[in-house]
A and B are shown apart, each in its own frame.
Chain A
Amino acid sequence: MAVFRFIHLSDLHFCLHPLRRNLRMLHRRRLWEQIDSFQNQARDLGLSTLVSPSSYDPAITAAAARFCYDRRRIIDAIIVSGDLATTGKPIDLNPARSYIEDAALSGPYINSFSQSLAATGRRIYFLPGNHDMYRDDSGWPGSPHFHLMLEKHLPNLTGSVGWWTRTKAGGQVLGCVYGDFCLRSVTDAGNVAFYHGRGRAYPDTLKKMVADTIALKSSHDRITLIWLIHFAPFQCPTSLQLMDWQNVTKEAERLGVLCTLCGHTHEQSKIARDKHVVYCSGSAGSVEPVGESRVHVIEIDPDRSTAQRQNFEYKAMDQSFQSVSSD
């Protein structure tokens, strides 16, 4: 039985400053932790960083790298559904770039404090998320640096859309079409107050995803198709919404796309409608929400046209991801 198996990661949020917390996130913590975090961060990084976007926890991204490395012989590839970095500034993107492509010396370790997924020897497929496209800490969209530094890893990319395929020896083909719905301009956010976290299902991007999907279907007799996007195509809090998300799921269902992989919400979820499933990944690195970090293993059976996911939660005590559920 030929099964395609992928590790799905999302929202790693690499940054120059590890363990940086945003003031808006602090209220979710206990009072004494709020005071402690506020005091430490203001002292170490400066008061102004409390209004910068939250970053990553190195212990969690290290555990994610070990998770991938230890499973390298049972997976086809690793998929990252965006937000590799906290902003699109080169200084924040650089640790993300290193995590994707630098050579490791011992297992997944580049040195004591840095790891690389490249050590798995498996292909890493990813696309940008809204954070990767921030020009600065204020979250202004449109940074060119993600593409300048990492575009070479994005196969068959034209504009905001690309695709890749993988083939088993028995001839089964899995095709993935990925699309970038990050805001091109603040004014596209609908409400300027929400430009940090919102995306827009731009008609031209969706049209290209549809065209690429149809082209893949017509060029392969036996192909199973999935879509990869950053934003969650379902009802989310207003500040995290993919505007016009209904158009995305409608087209995915119409075209017989088996599942859509996404992230962005930092909250693991699964939305099934008809034969189409949306698998939303938790965060594999962000400092928020505490205790909710997730990585996932997705199995796609092309002969039965089914997808299944196993979910792993980060346990701080052992600094590892452990299986918690499947859906």
Chain B
Amino acid sequence: MYAHQRKYEDQLSSVPLAASNRFDLNFQLVLSEFLPLVPDRSDEFLSLLQHELTTAFKAGWNLESEEWGKVKFEGDGIILYMQKPKTFEDPGFELSTEG
């Protein structure tokens, strides 16, 4: 949901999901909609997840989709690179008018 929404923003092509052992607040808000927890209030969960994700990415784990983009581990942060929305085009299509 997060990437699906953010990809329509003009300036952003990537969004940090986590940095310095903390998830981005907007991402936490979305995450808390789907999981019964808020990472900032769940220290154990966060440290475990941070460790799990970091280890997985270092081991070559890939998380990506043609639909929304990919997640990468860079520096000490986890970055989401968003796929630009695909706007369908049909040069032969001519819009009708009402009436």
Contact = CB atoms under 8 A, between A and B. Distances in A.
Interface of A: 1-5, 59, 62-63, 66, 69-74, 76, 106-109, 112-113, 123, 155, 164-169, 174, 318-320
B75 interface: no
Given A70-B85, A70-B86, A318-B67, A167 B96 contact: yes
Contacts of B45: none
Interface string B70-97: 0000000000000001111110111111
B89 A62 contact: no
Q: Which of B5, B26, B29, B97 has the most CB of A within 10 A?
A: B5
B44 interface: no
B98 interface: yes
Contact of A107 (B7, B33, B95, B97): B7
5 contacts: A62-B1, A108-B8, A123-B98, A318-B66, A318-B68
Interface of B: 1, 4-9, 26, 29-30, 33, 65-68, 85-90, 92-99
Nearest to A172: B96
B88 A73 contact: yes
A113 B26 CA distance: 12
Q: Which of B8, B9, B86, B90 has the most CB of A within 10 A?
A: B8
B interface SS class: loop
A166 B97 contact: yes
A73 B89 contact: yes
A287 B18 CA distance: 32
A2 B5 contact: no
A123 B94 CA distance: 15
A5 B88 CA distance: 13
Given A2-B94, A5-B93, A165 B99 contact: yes
Q: Which of B6, B66, B88 has the most CB of A within 10 A?
A: B88
B93 A71 contact: no
Contacts of B94: 2, 168-169
